[in-house]
Structure 1
């Protein structure tokens, strides 16, 4: 299959995210709240500049779309945006802590299992259907978690919390289909900044001292521009043409690259039990994304394209 520009954009986005632990580890020793504060602040400033310089029409379109929507939809969009901002803030904070204070493996494991957790939450909270092979994949994932928990329960729990916060974030964003994702992300980061600013002392953040720290500002800027805004643009560009299922499969590049970094770059080691558990997770991921349904002999649906898109979206 020939890779299009959109395939390459999605692949590049997840490759960039896979290398995220490298600049993050350059800030080892800083409080997680301090890193979070400047990542949110600088990402928000960059996104505001982007919208102000080249995406004013997109912002205005979202405002018009929201105002023209029924009152119920407006409340759902506002609620999902607010909840998403809080969950994204929690996820970023926890991920920074896990990578810098626990291990890169733990952070990688969180995002490897995240899509399967998202599917399980979609079944439990949204009533989405799962195929038999997907249930087997979920069972394999649960067994791998049990293996990891038998050795390092604290590490497993930290990974699961990171995975659950992002999985819940993805679930809340299901109600925002049709709205410009980058505009809503900017709103969410604005809300995150409003939450983090008053809580800065409790999170260990020292904004005034941070602005005078050239090392912190440099790597926070790299995290914000190179590992937040840039891959988000690439991902958005890819989603304009590719089905979400294709992008969902490509997203596994992220944790796989991070795992490789953990072993080859950071020199982390894995026990035999951990290696078996990671192998089971990879097997469950492959099994989950298999489409084992038999071709249908019934008449085609009046809306085949819409049903196909919904089915593909479940693997994201």
Structure 2
């Protein structure tokens, strides 16, 4: 059985890989975001299905699909999730290759707060005082950035809301991570193929007239998509929620550093001020949850010891 330390390492590896993704997309800057996205969908589907067949899970994939079809709400819910994550992928790739890595990182910073907001709206969850304060701080941070840019940071919000909605739907559908990815991409592959056909018809398809390295990188977008998802699914079930909560800030922090240090994106006093509000909001939001978890854990251990001593 996997230990918490092993689980944390798997999840850590997933977030580090996601954190490095801007570098991968930047190497494909000469390919349109649309063509990268359709390649990502098509190759993620083909390579995931191939991997499942190789490890002898092809029949399980068919069974999962049939079981999903029996529950129409879950079937169409996963279909919606597939298109939401495709919008997320497309927006992220476009943002990276149009020098908006900093704004993309902001989207993944505010994602946990958006997830809580969706929990209130759809799951009727209540906010405590710390969470309300965190929302006010985050709102101030986003407002500062909006006034500084002169436009609403739509990239951040599209990334945050699509991924939060995706997570909300996926939370209610129990599927193996790899088989789930195969079924998700099966929903979007027909649209991706039609889109690629249109890109070919306009003569804008780079894959037919480019260097071999670009072709390889486009094919490997499928593996780049699948590996961190599988790592995350492998580890997340064996670690406490607060550990996942802290580890999820690795990826946007790496994105922010990469955007500013490697690609020279602007990060002046207004960005510092805005992000400071966001970071404080995340601390206000996360730390009390950790304290509550540790306190409850200690109480459970104490009760177990008391129960054991009574038995003896």
TM-score w.r.t. the length of structure 1 is 0.83
Residue 28 of structure 1: aligned partner: 29
**CA separation of 1:55 and 1:94: change in aligned 2, threshold 3 A:** farther
**CA separation of 1:61 and 1:198: change in aligned 2, threshold 3 A:** closer
Aligned pair 1:79/2:79, yes or no? no
Residue 19 of structure 1: aligned partner: 20
Q: Of 223, 232, 246, which residue of structure 1 is paired with 2:221?
A: 223
Cα deviation code 1:231-287 (max 9, x no counterpart): 112111102322344223211111011111112221223121111111111111111
8 Å contact 1:37–1:200 — kept in the other structure? yes
Q: Distance in 1 between matches of 2:119 and 2:245?
A: 15
Cα deviation code 1:34-86 (max 9, x no counterpart): 1101111111111011111115164256357547xxx5xx0121011110011
Q: Distance in 2 between matches of 1:97 and 1:165?
A: 15
8 Å contact 1:200–1:206 — kept in the other structure? no
Q: CA deviation at 1:112?
A: 1.1
| Unpaired runs of at least 5, structure 1 | 301-316
Aligned pair 1:248/2:222, yes or no? no
Cα deviation code 1:144-180 (max 9, x no counterpart): 110000011446122212221111111222221x322
| Unpaired runs of at least 5, structure 2 | 301-312
TM-score w.r.t. the length of structure 2 is 0.84
The total of aligned residue pairs comes to 290
- TM alignment of 1:164-179, pairs within 5 A: 164-176=161-173, 178-179=174-175
Structure of higher CA gyration radius? 2
Q: Distance in 1 between matches of 2:221 and 2:133?
A: 37
Residue 47 of structure 1: aligned partner: 48
Q: Of 186, 202, 210, which residue of structure 1 is paired with 2:182?
A: 186
